[in-house]
Amino acid sequence: MKHIIFSLGLILTLFASCQKSGEESRYYVKYSGSTSTLHMVETTYTVNGETGQVKHTITGFSSDYTVTIGPVKKGFQTGIVCECMETESYYIKSQYVTIEVSKDNDPFALKASGTNQASYTIDY
């Protein structure tokens, strides 16, 4: 009887692990940006979302932006672009964007960064 229970437990464990390995990974993308200017300016962040590009506009001397999208699949092309209107007139003091990715609820990891744009194709 003990052998039957052990065998059933082993079969169930193997079956459960086989199911998990066949599942497709789920990825989440966190876009962040920060801009500081000498004068009040309109800053637009454009990101690649699940169904196309998404724009968010902030007006002020500084703008901090963060959004998380997902789940998306392996091969998804991430991208963020930060544009300040009339940058010659308003002199940007600092500007920075980042892309972080989380796979299957793991912690977010930095995958790309830049001054005003960054992109990354999910490939792991």
Sequence spans of domains, the chain: 25-121
Query: Residue 13 pLDDT more than 80?
Result: no
- Rounded to whole angstroms, what are the CA distances from 85 to 3, 7, 45? 73, 68, 11
- When pLDDT is cut at 50, 70 and 90, the band that residue 120 belongs to is very high
Res 18: pLDDT: 44
> Helix, strand or coil for residue 87?
helix
Give the model's pLDDT for residue 92: 85
How many Cα atoms are found within 13 Å in the side-chain-facing hemisphere of 45? Answer: 25
pLDDT per position as a tens digit, 47-104: 999 999 999 999 999 999 999 999 999 999 999 999 988 656 568 889 999 999 999 9
How far is the C-alpha of 39 from the C-alpha of 27, rounded, in Å?
Answer: 38
Which residues, 6 or more positions from 25, have their beta carbon under 8 angstroms from its beta carbon? 73, 74, 103, 104
